[in-house]
Amino acid sequence: MERKAFIIRAKDRRAADAAEALLEKAAAVKVDNFSVWAVSDLLLCYGEEQEGGDAAALADAVLASAGEGAALLAAPGTMRLMYHDIGVVRQDKSLIRHRVFCTRLKPGCAEEYKRRHDGLIEARGDAVSQGPDSNFTIWYGAGYIFGYCEKVKSFDHEPTEAEKAADIAWETRQLEIMDWLTDDVDWITGEKHEHIQRLV
- Per-residue pLDDT for 5 more than 90? yes
**Band of the pLDDT at 147, cuts 50, 70, 90?**
very high
DSSP 3-state of 200: coil
Spell out where 63-141 has E strands: 71-74, 80-85, 96-105, 133-141
Question: What does the pLDDT look like over 133-146, one tens digit per residue?
Answer: 999 999 999 999 99
Among 8-22, 112-126, 149-163, 186-200, the least confident range = 8-22
Alpha carbons within 13 A on the beta-carbon side of 181: 22
Distance in angstroms (rounded) separating the CA atoms of residues 130 and 48: 20
Q: Contact, 139 vs 5, CB < 8 A?
A: yes
pLDDT at 141: 97
Percent of the chain with pLDDT over 70: 100
**Band of the pLDDT at 151, cuts 50, 70, 90?**
very high
CATH number of this structure's domain 2-74: 3.30.70
* Cis check: omega of the bond before 107, within 30 degrees of 0: no
Provide the β-strand partners of residue 84: 137
pLDDT at 16: 72
Q: Where do the domains of the chain lie?
A: 2-74, 80-198
pLDDT at 9: 95
The letter for the amino acid at 45 is C
